[in-house]
Each structure stands twice: as C-alpha cells, then as structure tokens.
Structure 1
Amino acid sequence: MTLEVQFETMLIMTVMGIWLGAAMDTYHRFLGSPRRFKWTHLINDLFFWCAQGLFLFYVLLNVNEGEMRFYVLLALLFGYATYRALLQTVYRSILESLIRFTVAFYRFTVRLIVVLVITPVKWLLQVVLALCMIILSTIWRIVYFLLKVIIAPFRWGLEKAGVRFTFLLKWKKNLYTFSEKIRDLFSKLLNWFTKRKR
C-alpha cells in the first residue's frame, strides 16, 4: 500500500467517523432511547449497526481494497471524536430545522389538498344530494297527485257501491313508506357529508 493510498484511507475514515456520529444522532432522534429493554429496539439497533458496518466496509473496499489496519481504526475514532466535539451541536440544530420544515410542509400540503380538492368535492356532493332530494320529492308529489286523481273516481264509485278497496289503500301506504325511506336515506347522506366537512 502506497503512502498516498494510506493518506487517502485515513482521510476517508475520518469522514466516515463523522458520518457514523451523525448517523447515530439521527437514529436516536427518530427512534429514541427506551427507558426499559425492548426487543424491537434491540432488533433496530442490530439492523442499524449491520448497515453501518456494511457501508463502512464498502467504502474501505473502494479505497484500499478492504485492508484493515490499526491507523484505520484510529482515523475512524478521530472522526467520531471530531464530530462529537465540534459538529454535533450544529448537526442537531440542522436536523431539528429539517424535521420542523418537513412537518410544516406536510401539514401545509394536507391542508392545501383539503381546501382545493376534498372540500369542493364534498360541497359538490352536498349540492347533488340536495338537488336529488328536491327532484325526487317533486316527482313524488306529482306522481302522488296524479295517482290520487286517477284513482279517485274508481274509489268513489266503489265506496258508493259499498265495496272497500283495501288493496289500493295498502298499495298507497306501501308507496308512501317507500318514498319516506328514500327521503330518509338522502337526508342521512346529506347529514354525513355535512359532519365530515366539519
């Protein structure tokens, strides 16, 4: 191994030590440190350190074909110590700023979608349901009036003849019940969309 390769290896391992410190802070920021033992946290730690070890070996493999020397560990420790002493506070501040920005951007995006998409769709559905209720109610009143006009002479004649037209009365009652169920269904749908909007 040439002197140039050794110097490049030490420099890159120092950077990797800084990277390791930043990765640990990021990991603990999102997952935290449990107050008591948890198997899930142990598994997460195992995956984290395996991923960091594989990444470190991959970088070392590209630098000096994977040769592990004592000065490599010293450079790695030096980078980690440099991060803890000089860069940790700055990195944590930047990380918190990025998290706040991401959360704010997510909330803004959700509100924008609600205002521009969900609210207009709900309003349109409310209008459609209201129009359907008005149309059905109007049609029902017209049909009901026509049926009364058509049936009235027959009913009057049968009543004069002493015959009770019971099946027409039953049909009229069933038709009225069916129309009330349809009206209740549309009322429930309209109330549901109104509550969802609130």
Structure 2
Amino acid sequence: MTLDVQFETMLVMTVMGIWLGAAMDTYHRFLGSPRQFRWTHLVNDLFFWCGQGLFLFYVLLRVNEGEMRFYVLLALLLGYSTYRALFQRIWMQVLEWLIRTVIAIYRIIVRLIKLFIVLPLKWLLQVVLALCMILLSTIWRIVYFLLKIVILPVRWLLEKAGVRFTFLGKWKMNIFSSTEKVRDRLKRLTDWFKKRKR
C-alpha cells in the first residue's frame, strides 16, 4: 500500500467517522432512546449497525480494496470525536430545521389537496345528490299525477257503484249486502250514462 493510498484511506475514514456520528444522532432522533428493553429496539439497532458496517466496508473496499489496518480504526475514532466536538450541535440544529420544514411542506400539501381536490369533490357530490333528489321528487310527482288521473275515473265509478274510499289514504268501503241494491245502483248508473249521451 503506497503512502498516497494510506493518506487517502485515513482521510476517508475520518469522514466516515463524522458520518457515523451524524447517523447515530439521526437514528436516535427518530426512534428515541429506549427507557426499557424491547425486542423491537434490539432488532432496529441490529439492522442499523449491520447497514453502517456494510456501508463502511464498501467505502473501504473502494479506497484500499478492503484492507483493514489499525490506523483505519484510529481515523474512525478521530472522525467520530471531531463530530462530537465540532459538528454535533450544528447537525442537530440542521436536522430539526429539516424535520420542521418537511412537516410544514406536508401540511401545506395536505391543505392544498383538501382545498383543490377534496372540497370540490365534496361540493360536486352534494350538488349531484341534490339534483338526484330533485329528479326523484319530480318523477314521483309525475307518477303520482298519472296514477291520480288513471284512478280517479275508477274511483268515481266505484263510488257510483256504492264503494267509498280515499286515494292513498285510509280506505273506507261500504258494500251493499243486498244484491238487489247493487243491481239498483248499476241500473241508475246505466240510466245516468244514457242521459249523458243524450
């Protein structure tokens, strides 16, 4: 390994130490520090450190073909210490600002969706529902009127025959018990039609 490669490896590993510190703070910011033991935190920590280890090995592989030396660990510790001393406070402020910005953008998007999509659709559905109710009411009135036109002559004929009732109401029927009276009514009705034709 040449001196240039060693120097590049130390520089890159120092940067990786800074990255590792920032990643740890970001991880704890989103998931929090567990107050008591939980298996979920253990699984999350396992995935986090496996991911960081694989990423670190990939970077080391690209720099010096994956050759591990003692100074590599020293460079990592130097970068991590540098982050804790100089960059931790700045990064946490930037991270909080990024979180607030993302939340604000999310809320704005939600409000815009409600304003330009949800509310117009809701208003349109209300209009369609109102039109359907008006249409159904109009159709019912037309059907009711037609039924009334059809049934009124029948009602009139039945009333002339001795049957009394109210349309779409409480039915009242009074049928003659005597066959003679029914025949008399029918005869009167026939006579009345004859007079009307004259």
Tell me the TM-score range normalised by the shorter chain.
0.7 to 0.9
TM-score, normalising length: structure 1: 0.81
Give matches, 1:10-29, under 5 Å.
10-29=10-29
Q: Structure 1: 5+ residue runs without aligned partners?
A: 171-198
Q: Please, what TM-score do these two structures have when normalized by structure 2?
A: 0.81
Shift of 1:160: 2.4
Aligned pairs, number = 169
Greater than 6 Å deviation, 4+ residue runs: none
| Aligned-partner Cα distance in 2 for 1:121–1:169 | 40
Structure 2 counterpart of 1:94: 94
Deviation of 1:165 after TM superposition, in Å, equals: 8.2
- Residue in 1 aligned with 2:2? 2
Q: Percent identity?
A: 78
| Offset of residue 65 of structure 1 | 0.9
**Where do 5+ consecutive residues of structure 2 fail to align?**
170-198
Aligned counterpart, 1:152: 152
Q: Aligned letter for 2:86?
A: L
Task: Provide the residue aligned with 2:125 in structure 1.
Answer: 125
- In 2, Cα distance between equivalents of 1:150 and 1:29: 79
- SS of aligned partner of 2:37: coil
If each structure's helix is expressed as a fraction of its own residues, which one has the higher value? 1
Matches within 5 A, 1:1-198: 1-163=1-163
The RMSD of aligned alpha carbons is: 1.7
Question: What is the one-letter code of the residue matched to 1:113?
Answer: I
Larger relative contact order (CA 8 Å, sep ≥ 6): 1
Q: SS of the counterpart of 1:34? A: coil
How far the C-alpha of 1:163 sits from its partner, in A, is 4.9
Name which one, 1 or 2, has greater alpha-carbon Rg.
2
